[in-house]
Structure formats: C-alpha cells, structure tokens
Structure 1
C-alpha cells in the first residue's frame, strides 16, 4: 500500500519527531482500546452462530431421513399381495408402495412423476413384476 499511494515517501519527506511520537501514541491508544480484538471476537461469535445453525439444519435433515427410512422399513411388511388390494389403495398408500419398491428397482421414477392413480397402479404392478423376476420376494406376490 505504501508504494501504491506513495505514503512512505511522504512520511520520509515530511514527518518530524513529533509526528512519529504522535503516530505511536495514537497506535498505543488504539491497541489499548481493544477495538480490533472486539471486532475479531464478534466475527468469531457470528461464525460460531452460523455453524451452529448449519449443524442444526443438518441434524434436522438427518432426523427426517431417518424417520423416512424407518417408515419405509416398517411399511415393507405391508408389501402388496393382490391387484384387488392394489386397486382399493389410496394414492398415499400407492406412494408408499412405490417408495418400498424403489429401494430395489432404480428404474422406478420419483413418486411425483406419477400424477394419477391409474399411473401409480401400473407403475407398482410393473415394479413388483421386476421385483419378483429378480428373486427378491419374501412370499406372496401380485396375483389376479
């Protein structure tokens, strides 16, 4: 900075002993006031608050993922058996079936892709057939 705005040359040419002593006295006063230390402490506190908020968001996200995983794991016992059961299900139950089958079949699209009940039923039937072909059944299956 001194070379860019020629401050160093100005100081060397124009400063006297009194000016140097004044500058040093002012520097000591500023150091004694702890302004810089307070500013740095505020920055650290702000950074700590940001990190705490981020950790809380991350923890909430992990908790939600764990709840969803537990819900899907519990619902795995409710895997469909017949198409007659499938046709009686509500859309939310079909979404649950899609989530369960999506664990084993990556070709199933997100449940938001299927907007109508008929599309969801067709997707569940097709996914379950692929699921059976892979030999992952634990009993039961879709029958007519």
Structure 2
C-alpha cells in the first residue's frame, strides 16, 4: 500500500512543479506583452504589474480575457517584422543570380582582368 501512496505523492509533486512553471511562463508572457505594447500608458502598465504581483492567477485570467486578442495580434506583428528582417538579410547575403554572375565575369573579361579561359570556367560553374 505504501508504494501507491508514494507513487501518487510523486505524481502530485510533478504536477505541482509543472503548474508552477506554467504559471511562471504565463506571467513572463503577459509582462513581456505589457511592456511591448506602445498603446498602453505607463500607469495602466503599473496597475497590471501590481495586480500580477499580488493576485497572479486571477490577473492572468482577466488579462487573457480582456487583452488576449491584442496580445495575439502584437505577437503576429512582431513575428512578421522578424521574418521580413530575416528575409531581407538573406536576400542581402545570398549569391547573385546566374545572369548577374555572368555579367560580372563578362565585365572582368572586357576590362582584361581575367582571361577567356577563366571566363569560361566561371560561366560553367554558374550554369551548373
């Protein structure tokens, strides 16, 4: 009988630890959203933080009900901005198109910087 008592005690302990970390994650998510929101005044942010500090569970529920849709919209906007910045960076560092590479090589050939054999090698690499 003591085995089952210990098993359920261990199970309960793991559940409590999981619930505690879930509460912490939700608190950090809400506080992060509060401070990223440009439309909310500083006084309202301070009031939300005070309520989150003293009545965390109830405040989290009220915040998610009252401002959950805006929280999602702000998160999506931020993700879109990060994606656009990432795409712009990738386009900036990515190799040029094959026609641009051949045009650059042709300009080098015309200026005499490279020989016709080197031009053919560059053209062959680009077209493969």
The higher radius of gyration belongs to 1
User: TM-score, normalized by length of structure 2?
Assistant: 0.34
Comparing both chains, which one has the higher relative contact order based on Cα–Cα distances under 8 Å and sequence gaps of 6 or more?
1
TM-score normalised by length of structure 1:
0.31
Which has the larger share of helix? 2
